[in-house]
Amino acid sequence: MTEYVSALRDATEQRDAGRKAARLAELVRAGFPVPDGVVITTEAFRASRAGTGLPTPTSAVADAVRRAVAALGAASLAVRSSSVDEDLDTESRAGAYTTVLNVTDVESVLEAVERCWASAGAGDAASPMAVLVQPMVPALAAGVAFTTDPVTGERDAVVIEAVRGLADSLVRGTVSPEEWRARPDGAPGRTVDKQVLTDGQAAQVAELARRVARWSGAPQDIEWALSADGVALLQARRITGPAAPAVEPVPPP
């Protein structure tokens, strides 16, 4: 793949789409509820680099991004870094790169792409960086779920953390989450009650996390968002050590 922009479901090559986007592309193809999107490839990153400075989209890259964003037709977008070096099976780099939420016009998308590229570093030290652009999920609630207990290591429990609205409040620490524990032999139960999820919604999140773990063959932590249309899968990565929140820090506007 040498294009500057690719449909998400076609972006399965990690060297072109970065690990996050390539993983989500595989999940889309496997039938998981991942929001549609486009990937600005590492080829666009390389083409836009000028010497050792930070990359700025070339006119050809910018035009390709404008066309792709217009085709998405979304009123609000999430622009997310997707490095070839993040979320390795032996090491997670959650939070090392940039995410920009609630982007509402194409020129702001291009600015957000530059911010994502800048988080890769400068010059020869920069990791090849793709960028994932997806419609924002109109989240009623969002959070993370672990298919292995991050404290005890228990593998039969799904641990869920949930907040109202977007999960950036969870990452910033401005809101403490509601917490659930779900085991295969019973209904999920709250361990910290904030009246965010119903029993049925928590069960949906737990089942989604288990499905991803079964599909991947390894314990997972996932980022999810609940809207009126159901539970959407925003990210999934293998648990590589003591679990940390899967959601990415979101810089202030």
CATH classification of the domain holding 157 = 3.30.470.20
Q: Are residues 156 and 205 in the same domain?
A: yes
* DSSP one-letter code for 230: E
Single-letter amino acid code for the residue at 33: P
Same domain, 104 and 39: yes
Q: What is the pTM of this model?
A: 0.88
One domain for residues 127 and 27: yes
Can you give the pLDDT at residue 53?
67
Q: For residue 5, give the nearest of 114, 127, 130 by alpha carbon.
A: 130
Type of residue found at 145 = A
82 within domain boundaries: yes
For residue 208, tell me if it sits in a domain: yes
* Owner of token pair 């889309």: 28
247 inside domain: no
Is the same domain home to 18 and 106?
Answer: yes
Whether residue 145 lies inside any domain: the answer is: yes
215 in a domain, yes or no? yes
Residue 154's pLDDT is what?
85
Quote the pLDDT of residue 51. Answer: 59
pLDDT, tens digit only, all 253 positions of the chain:
459 999 999 999 999 999 999 999 999 999 999 999 999 999 999 999 865 567 899 999 999 999 999 999 999 999 999 999 875 554 444 556 899 999 999 999 999 999 999 998 765 557 889 999 999 999 999 999 999 988 888 888 999 999 999 988 787 778 899 999 998 887 788 888 889 999 999 999 999 999 999 999 999 999 999 999 999 999 999 987 654 444 554 444 4
In a domain, 250, yes or no: no
Q: Are residues 91 and 152 in the same domain?
A: no
Which residue range is the domain that position 94 belongs to?
A: 5-135
Do 63 and 161 belong to one domain? no
Which residues, in sequence order, are CB contacts of 59 under 8 Å at separation 6+? none
Structure confidence at residue 52 (pLDDT): 56
Give pLDDT, residue 88: 52
Domain count for the chain: 2
Residues 6 or more apart in contact with residue 1 via CB below 8 angstroms? 10, 11, 13, 16, 17, 41, 43
Of 85, 109, 135, the residue at which a domain comes to its end is: 135
Chosen domain end from 88, 112, 135? 135
Domain boundary among 135, 160, 175: 135
